[in-house]
């Protein structure tokens, strides 16, 4: 499921992120990928040791916590500490697939079920830089306003087009979901959304209660904790 999640960060938060990122030390993005990725990746990232990466990453996690839409869609179990990248001067990342298992710490690993890109500047500030996601329906090209995020299955091939004017700033990270299957997660999300709508419209309470029960029982059946 490809989903646009608007307004993860407020305009004030975006401005603060941009101020911090301007004075941060960036490093070559090839440091965090394997040899295949390194052949097609040309961008910059905040290094793991960067204090800005840790502090802004925590701010992203706190912002995600405020988003019911993110929780309903991702059903997160583990989230990799957010990273930050910058594309400029023709920088791009050719078609690739994200790693399937990632280290959270020396003793803990996670599976990447969902990839997330949180845009930190507006599409009119750069040319190119679209996130292109390929699935069975074709290719989807994504560029969102600053503060908005997109989530998509980590199983999809994707790329970032060359940035030929200005610079593109984003945070990106992966989520291990309670529900591994994208199609099961999508059905749960649709059911959750429908229950919210029915509740808001004061629909028959017994029917809503029963549907809510089905939602939780499916989540019980499909979730891994």
Q: Indicate whether 92 belongs to the interface with Ni ion (CB under 5 A).
A: no
Q: Is the distance from CB of 134 to CB of 175 less than 8 angstroms?
A: no
Nearer residue to Ni ion within complex by CB, 159 or 185: 159
User: Residues in the chain, how many?
Assistant: 225
Residue 98 touching Ni ion (CB under 5 A): yes
- Which CB sits closer to Ni ion, 2 or 195? 2
For Ni ion, which is the closer residue by CB, 53 or 159? 159
For residue 175, what are the contacts with CB-CB under 8 A and spacing of at least 6?
Answer: 74, 76, 77, 78, 79, 80, 112, 113, 114, 115, 116, 151
CB of 141 to Ni ion, least distance (A): 15
Residue 120 beta carbon to Ni ion: minimum distance, rounded to whole angstroms: 17
Q: How many of the chain's residues bind Ni ion (CB under 5 A)?
A: 1
Looking at residues 138 to 197 of the shown chain, list those that interact with Ni ion (rule: CB under 5 A).
none
Distance of closest approach, residue 205 Cβ to Ni ion, in angstroms:
45
By beta-carbon proximity to Ni ion, the closer residue of 16 and 98 is: 98
Q: Are 34 and 60 in contact, with CB atoms under 8 Å apart? A: no
Q: Please give the C-alpha separations between residue 139 and each of 6, 41, 126, 130, 152, in angstroms, as whole numbers.
A: 21, 19, 21, 11, 12
Is 149:79 a contact under the CB 8 Å cutoff?
A: no
**Minimum CB distance to Ni ion, residue 131 (Å):** 9
CB 127: neighbour CB atoms within 10 A?
14
CB of 42 to Ni ion, least distance (A): 13
- Closer Cβ to Ni ion, 34 or 51, answer by number: 34
Region 46-85 residues binding Ni ion, contact defined as CB under 5 A: none
Helix 182-200, helix 205-222: angle, nearest 10 = 160
Binding residues for Ni ion (CB under 5 A): 98
């Amino acid at each position: 499921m490809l989903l646009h999640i608007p307004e993860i960060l407020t305009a004030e938060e975006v401005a603060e992120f941009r101020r911090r990122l301007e004075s941060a030390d960036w490093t070559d993005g090839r440091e965090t990928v394997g040899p295949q990725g390194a052949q097609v990746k040309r961008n910059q990232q905040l290094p793991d040791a960067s204090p800005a990466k840790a502090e802004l990453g925590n701010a992203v996690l706190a912002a995600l916590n405020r988003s019911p839409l993110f929780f309903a869609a991702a059903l997160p179990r583990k989230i990799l500490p957010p990273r930050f990248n910058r594309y400029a001067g023709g920088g791009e990342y050719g078609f690739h697939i994200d790693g399937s298992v990632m280290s959270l710490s020396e003793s803990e690993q996670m599976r990447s079920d969902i990839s997330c890109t949180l845009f930190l500047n507006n599409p009119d500030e750069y040319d190119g830089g679209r996130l292109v996601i390929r699935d069975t329906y074709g290719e989807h090209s994504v560029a969102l306003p600053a503060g908005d995020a997109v989530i998509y299955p980590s199983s999809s091939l994707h790329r970032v087009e060359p940035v030929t004017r200005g610079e593109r700033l984003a945070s990106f990270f992966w989520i291990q979901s309670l529900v591994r299957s994208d199609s099961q997660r999508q059905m749960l999300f649709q059911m959750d959304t429908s229950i919210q709508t029915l509740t808001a419209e004061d629909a028959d309470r017994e029917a809503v209660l029963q549907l809510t029960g089905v939602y939780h029982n499916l989540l019980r059946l499909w979730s891994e904790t």
